[in-house]
Structure 1
Amino acid sequence: MSLDDSPLSIYIKRLNHVQYQVEFKPKAIKDLQEITLNIQEQIISKIEVMQNDLHGDVKRLTNFTPEYRLRVGDYRVLFEVDKQAIIIYRIKHRSKAY
């Protein structure tokens, strides 16, 4: 599979009219690429839902940076919100996320 056909590439192409823009840090992109394709698709789908209104299984973390997490099955998307941007720092299995 080429990078242009990856779930991440397809998702980036669909970003037109959303409430929050999403920025993936390099480590988050690497994390996502190491996950199986079907889990990648689930994660991208949940991020798309979240970027319209921060809905989904989102929780504010205490005493932890980044300050938010999105739960997608056994994976955690660790991110921060800055004005109209969601900045995704890591995407890790729950056993390695914190």
Structure 2
Amino acid sequence: MDNALIGRIISKIESLEEEPRPRACRKLRGEKNLWRIRVGDYRVVYAVDDVARNVDIRRVRHRSEVYE
């Protein structure tokens, strides 16, 4: 990953603090509380705990590897 992409990923992750379920997020099928956002060809998979107001980043990987 180049530095520009890393910066975009960090920015997207930080934005989850204000809005944990942005319009572009998708709920993962078959998972109770996992969501994903796109950053170019990469995906950020995360869980949201509304009670604790917490976002837990589970993985950041290329789209071809993230769902394995």
- Normalised to the residue count of structure 1, the TM-score between the two structures is 0.58
Q: Size of the alignment, in residue pairs?
A: 64
In the TM superposition, what is the alpha-carbon distance from 1:66 to its structure 2 partner?
Answer: 6.3
Q: Structure 1 residues 89 and 65, CA, compared in 2 at 3 Å: closer, same or farther? A: farther
User: Higher relative contact order by CA 8 Å / sep ≥ 6: 1 or 2?
Assistant: 1
Higher strand share: 2
Aligned-pair identity (%): 36
Q: Which runs of 5+ in 2 are unaligned?
A: none
Q: Which runs of 5+ in 1 are unaligned?
A: 1-34
C-alpha separation in 1, matches of 2:44 and 2:32 = 12
Q: Indicate the residue corresponding to 2:43 in structure 1.
A: 76
How large is the Cα RMSD of the aligned pairs? 1.8
Instruction: Tell me which stretches of 4 or more aligned residues in structure 1 moved more than 3 Å.
Output: none
Compare CA radii of gyration and give the structure with the larger one: 1
- Normalised to the residue count of structure 2, the TM-score between the two structures is 0.79
Higher helix share: 1
